[in-house]
Structure 1
């Protein structure tokens, strides 16, 4: 993905329209902002907003290209845009995955 977005997208969909939807959903214009709003995508694809999230969640996986756990090295999985925005907005020095965090506590 362009613009230093830190998103590596793995598309599972065989249908080209769904693959395109996944790419557009995760397309970053300027981190942490996305090129297309979910509302725009819903209108373009004739789906409601909840359906967009469901279709994207079932048909692709977005992982961090550069963001990985500071302890074990596992790549972050962005479950949705909110997760991505939170990480990009608040990540100061390092990210620690849930398993490693739980071991520290």
Structure 2
């Protein structure tokens, strides 16, 4: 409590009695705006956290659903394992990457 009284007396001496009320109003507005902004930021962070948690839960639920479907498919297939078949357009396909050497690029330039 004594610190507040000391700061009030110091402000009165430094700023002066005429400007002190205006300074106090300006400082109060600034602190209110700062508090409002921090509350908005806190609310946005909380909302984003809830959305991220929802997205994560949805993804995990979808993963479990796909796993269950795959397990049912494996259970119904003969011999209890995947049938060998060519990939369909819905399945991802692997592509083989090769490195090109300087010799290959020289031959292309000559052609």
Q: Normalising by structure 1, what TM-score?
A: 0.18
Q: Which has the higher strand share?
A: 1
Q: Normalising by structure 2, what TM-score?
A: 0.17
Tell me which of the two structures has the higher relative contact order, counting C-alpha pairs closer than 8 angstroms and 6 or more residues apart: 1
Query: Rg: which structure is higher?
Result: 2
Q: Which has the higher helix share?
A: 2
